[in-house]
Structures are given as structure tokens and as C-alpha cells.
Amino acid sequence: MSYLILPPNYKASISLKQTEQAIKLLKDFFQQSLAAELRLRRVTAPLFVLAGKGINDNLSGKERPVNFAIKDMQDAHAEIVHSLAKWKRLTLAEYCMEENYGIYTDMNAIRADEELGNMHSLYVDQWDWEMCINDKDRTIHFLKSVVRRIYSALRQTEFILYEQYPNLPPVLPETITFIHSEELLKKYPGMSPKERENAFAKKHKAIFVFGIGGKLSDGSKHDERAPDYDDWTTPNEDGYLGLNGDLIVWNDVLDCSLELSSMGIRVDRKALLKQLEICGCEDRKELYFHQKLLNNDLPLSIGGGIGQSRLCMFLLKKAHIGEIQSSIWPEDMRISCQENGIILI
């Protein structure tokens, strides 16, 4: 069986009918709050893109995109998106967005190589967003300000849900705590990256971990990141590498940390060339997206994704993401969940 956490004596805080109503309330309110906080315009996103253009997100580089041939285009291959990290930046340029304004969209993806469990599904849904910035905004200070605005939208949504469903009391702290992945390594040297996140998130309840993708002082990486969207090599004013990170909360139901969002300041021309070289992906320089970026045809930007089902799972105090979305699960997982009060949709 894939990794499964079974909380003892688990019982959902709200009924199945209430859950469906709460999901709509949550999603409607949060995206409006997010759009207002970051000044984002909603746009329509693709489910699939043409292969070989460099537009699809490569994630860690190991995941296989779901693909199919298009009959009316001489069997040209299309790929179901993994995320819209690069497509959004192309769209910013196409829409001629002004600085400090941006876009958001509903991103739906299929990740066939996902390791299924309480927090991971074959079906991925998130709010993907992207904002135009200028060169002076490419700082940790600016990234922190954006994180705080997103966190404000999270807390507003948590309160709105509590007003409607008293069984869902707020748990998010007033402020989010920032830490760099190198600081986490020094603080918890004998732990794995996930164990460090758990220890720090359990203490502070809501954290943002900077510097995801680059090598740490011991030669390891906190986590993998593709070389061609987030900037994880540019030195920042705190003395560490990286202008990206993950927003993580403590999940009391599962007694572990839960990543809600991955985001960052995007690569400029210099960072792209450096990161492609580090990852041995210099052949990508000839792809459509990368050519646009290298030719300075794309705006500087910051962006990320916020998991819709994950956010619902957290705020509605569910034990499994399958209580929020309809997906495919191993039969032994379904049986174990059923036996332990976890009703998968």
C-alpha cells in the first residue's frame, strides 16, 4: 500500500453534504481574497500543451507527463500539464500586464507518477498565479511581503469557514515564521529535510522555508526544483542562496506538516543560464519558452501554486485528500480508509 496515515478515532468534523457546501464557500472566498491581495486577474488555462516547446513544468525531471497524439495535427504530441509555471509567464507577456499586477487560474493536472497517500493524488488542482515585477523586486524582502499577503488570505478564509461551521475553529497563528533551508539544516543537523519541516512547523504552526532546489552546506538539497522557473541560485540579502520557497502549515489531524504552496521569484536570463548548466539541461536553451526568456521577451515575475484540495483538506480538518476530491485509489487504501472512518469520495 502507498503511504497512509490513519489517525486514531478519526471522525470528520462536518458531514459529507456540509463538506461539499464548504468546499464551494472556501474556494469562492479564497480566490477572491487572493486576487484582491495580489491584484490578480482571472484567466482561462490549458489542460494540455504541445510537447517539445519547453512550456510544461518538468517538476523534478523524473515524472512522466501523460501524453497523447493529436489526429488533426499529424499526430503531434500533447502533454497534460504538470503545472503552469512557464505558461503563466508567457501569458503575462501576451496580456501586457503591468508591474505589480498579475493573473491567476484554476490549474488541473494529472501526475501519473505521484506516490499516493493522505496528501497526494493522481489529480492535482491548484490556483496557479503569476505577477509582473521589476528588477528591484527580486529580493527576499519582496518575496516575504507577497507570502504575508497570501497568508492573510488564508486566515481570512479560515475565519469565514468558522463563522459558517463552528466545528472548524481557526488554528493558524497571527503571523507566519520564515526560515531558510540552510538554517533548518543547522538547527536540526541529524534530521532529513521532511523531519526538519515537521519539527519546525509543529513548533510554529505556519512557516515559509526559503531556498528550495540549491545545494546546502552538506552537499544535499532540501528538495528538488526544476532549473527554469524558480530562482534558487541568486544570493539574497540574508546571505543565503535562493529566492523561492514553500508555505507549510502544521496539520493537527495527521500530526505532520502539510505544504500548501510552492512559489518564488522566477529566473531572469542570468539565473536561467546558470541553473541549466548546474542541472546539465543546457539543451533546453533551444526550446520555445527558453528562447523567449533568453531574448528578454518575457517580463520578470513572481509566481506559484496553491493546492486547492490540500487547502480544503486542511481548513475542513480532513484526514485524506480523497475526502475532498474524486480520484482513483488502490483498493487496499480504500478498504483501510473505510475501516478507519475516512470516507473517500
| Catalytic (active-site) positions | 57, 111, 126, 246, 259, 262
List C-alpha distances in Å: 148 to 156, 157, 238: 12, 14, 18
Burial class (CB in 10 A: 0-12, 13-18, 19+), 237: exposed
Question: Taking the CA of residue 291 as centre, how many other CA atoms within 13 Å lie in the half-sphere pointing to its CB?
Answer: 7
Amino acid of residue 93: A
C-alpha cell at 121: 493524488
Report residue 238: phi and psi, to 5°: -85, 0
- The DSSP element (H or E) to which 158 belongs, if any, is helix 140-164
- Is-contact 301 264, C-beta < 8 A? no
Task: Output DSSP code: residue 136.
Answer: G
Neighbour-count burial for 197-206, b at 16+ CB within 10 Å, e otherwise: bbebbeebbb
Distance CA 292, CA 238 (A): 31
The stretches of 6-74 forming alpha helices (DSSP H) are 16-38
Residues 6+ apart with CB under 8 A from 6: 319, 336, 337, 340, 342
